Amino acid sequence: MDTTERIRKRVQEGDEGRTALLEMLREQPGDTHEVISALTCDQRDIEAGAAEALVFLAEEAPDLLEPFARRLFRIAAGSEHQAVRLAIARALPLLELGAWQAGRLAFVFESWLDDRDPAIKRAAMEALVALVPQRPSLGPRVRREIERRAAEGSPTAIKHGTKLLETLREF
């Protein structure tokens, strides 16, 4: 079984598989690119599993993903798969990004605010707020966008927007 197959197998095994994947990638960090590649393999089940693994890695071992930030930006800008987009919105703000990277990523997430899918819109708003601590100059722009989107949305959107604005209070 080659590396790609082992990684895909681990990704599909749930929590135990993700833990084994983390151990495997700690031993061979260069293989992390296989997880990233699985996000765009055109097999929805594998992409969904890789998306879950991406979030897991961002939470448990962001250092493994940071060298792939540029590649993840390209995937974020081009992916239409909901599971991948939601995972990217959760994972990328957890990485240590430079100010320019956080700014560039903010543009991607802002573009998602026009998506028809409410889950994507919500994830984009949460991701934007999560980027602000890394680049505080984004604070006013993100605040205005969330205020505008919440005012145009449903009662649930207003409530969620208000909660996010509370998070931005110090910025």
Same domain, 101 and 168: yes
Tell me the whole-structure pTM to 2 decimals.
0.89
pLDDT 10s digits, 11-60: 778 778 888 999 999 999 989 999 999 999 999 988 988 899 999 999 99
Angle CA 86–90–95, to nearest 5 = 140
Report the Cα 107 to chain-centroid distance in Å.
Answer: 14
Q: How far apart are CA 164 and CA 152, in angstroms?
A: 15
Which pLDDT score is estimated for 1?
61
Residue type, 95: L
Which pLDDT score is estimated for 32?
93
Q: How far apart are CA 85 and CA 48, in angstroms?
A: 10
Helix (H) or strand (E) holding 126: helix 118-131
Which pLDDT score is estimated for 170?
78
Q: How far apart are CA 72 and CA 118, in angstroms?
A: 22
Residue 144 has pLDDT above 90, yes or no: yes
Is residue 77 situated within a structural domain?
A: no
Q: Contact, 126 vs 166, CB < 8 A? A: no
Same domain, 102 and 144: yes
Is residue 136 situated within a structural domain?
A: yes
Q: Contact, 122 vs 114, CB < 8 A? A: no
How many structural domains compose the chain? 2
Give the torsion through C-alpha atoms of 146, 163, 103, 139, to 10 deg.
Answer: 80
DSSP codes of every residue in 67-121: GGHHHHHHHHHH---HHHHHHHHHHGGGS---HHHHHHHHHHHHHHTT-S-HHHH
Is residue 61 situated within a structural domain?
A: yes
Q: How far apart are CA 29 and CA 25, in angstroms?
A: 5
Q: Which residue, of 72, 106, 122, is where some domain finishes?
A: 72
Is residue 51 situated within a structural domain?
A: yes
Is residue 26 situated within a structural domain?
A: yes
Domain of residue 160 covers 97-171
Taking residue 7's Cβ as centre, other Cβ atoms within 10 Å add up to: 26
Is residue 107 situated within a structural domain?
A: yes
Is residue 17 situated within a structural domain?
A: yes
- Locate tokens 């939470």: which residue? 59
Is residue 89 situated within a structural domain?
A: no
pLDDT 10s digits, 80-128: 999 999 999 999 999 999 888 999 999 999 999 999 999 999 999 999 9
Which pLDDT score is estimated for 98?
85
